Amino acid sequence: MCSRRWSRQAASSAPLVPSASRSRASAAPWLASRRNSASASSIATPARLSSLTRGAASTTRSRRSSPASPRLRARPLASARVHGRLRVNLDPYFARLVLAPRLGRFLADYPELALELVVRDRVGDLVGEGFDAAIRFGEPSSPSAIRRRLLQSRVLTCASPRYLARHGRPSRPQDLSHGHTCLLFRDPATGRPFGWEFRRGRERVDVPVSGRLVVNDLALLLEVCAAGEGVAQVLDLGIAPLLANGTLINLFPRWTDERFPLYVFHPSRHLPPARLRAFLDFVAAFTPAISAR
C-alpha cells in the first residue's frame, strides 16, 4: 500500500478497477493511508467477523500479561483526579481488535469517568464535534494536531490456501499484475483504490494490480481475503493467529518493510485535563507490546 491519509469515504464495488498510484504523503486509516482463528470457508459474515475478532483479541490479551510488557502495569493517575466525560473518536479496526479487550481495566481504574467511544471511518472536526482525542492509522493531515505515535504496523500481502489452490502462488510481487485477483482499498482523498507498493530495505517496487472488489473497511478486507476471494494487503496488527494456523499466507516475507503508523492525537496544545492524560497514558502503555515482533 502506500502512505495513506486518515479519513475514509464509503467504499463501493467497481468492475475490474485498476489501483491508483499511492499518494506519498505520510499516510491513513489503513491501508486508508496504509498501511482469530477462523475458517476460510465463507465470505464475510457477522459470525465470521466475530470469530476473527475474538481470535485477535485473545492474542492481544495474552500479550498484555506477558512478562515482556512491564509498562502495562504502570500506575494510573489518582482515581480521584479523573472524573467527568471523555469523548474519543476511534478507528474501527483498532477499536475492535485492540482496544475493546482492555477497556474493562481502564474503566475499573477510573470509576468516576464517563467514557464515550465513537467508532467511525473518518475523524471530522474534533473541536466542533466535541471530541477530546482521536486514534487513527496514518499521519494526521493537520500539522497543528498534537500527536503521539503508538506503534508502526507492517503491511503484509496475503492470500488464503483456498485462493492459492485455484490461482497458484505468485513468486514475486510483479506476478500480481497478471492472472491474479486483488482486493482493493479505497483512497478517501481520490476516491480511487490505493496503488500497491512493496519495500525491501531501501528497495521499492510499485506493482499495478486490478480487482473487482473495492472496500473501505479493514476488517471486511481481512474477512474476504480469508474466504479465498483474492489477494490483499493487510496490516499485521492482530492477524498473528491467522498466519500461525494457516488461514492466511504471507506471500512475500522478504517484502514486508513498509510500515503504517498508529497515532493518538488531540486538538489542544495546552496541558490536557487529567481524564485525557489518563486515557493517553493507558493506550500508550499497551500498544508497544502489541507491535513488538
219-245: per-residue pLDDT in tens? 899 999 999 999 999 998 888 899 999
What are 235's strand-pairing partners? 155
Quick one: which of 57, 49, 54, 11 has its CA closest to 30? 11
Averaged pLDDT of the chain: 76
What is the C-alpha end-to-end distance of the chain, expressed in Å?
A: 20
3-state secondary structure of 227: coil
Distant-in-sequence, close-in-space partners of 15: CB < 8 Å, separation ≥ 6: 212
Quick one: which of 144, 151, 205 has its CA closest to 177? 205
pTM for the whole structure: 0.68
Q: Report phi then psi at 117, rounded to 5.
A: -110, 125
Among 3.40.1190.20, 3.40.190.290, 1.10.340.30, 3.20.20.70, what is the CATH number of 17-291? 3.40.190.290
- Give the tens place of pLDDT for each residue, 29-86: 444 444 433 333 333 334 444 455 444 444 444 444 333 333 334 455 666 588 899 9
Q: How far is CA 172 from CA 45, 68, 96, 207, 277, in A?
A: 31, 35, 33, 10, 46
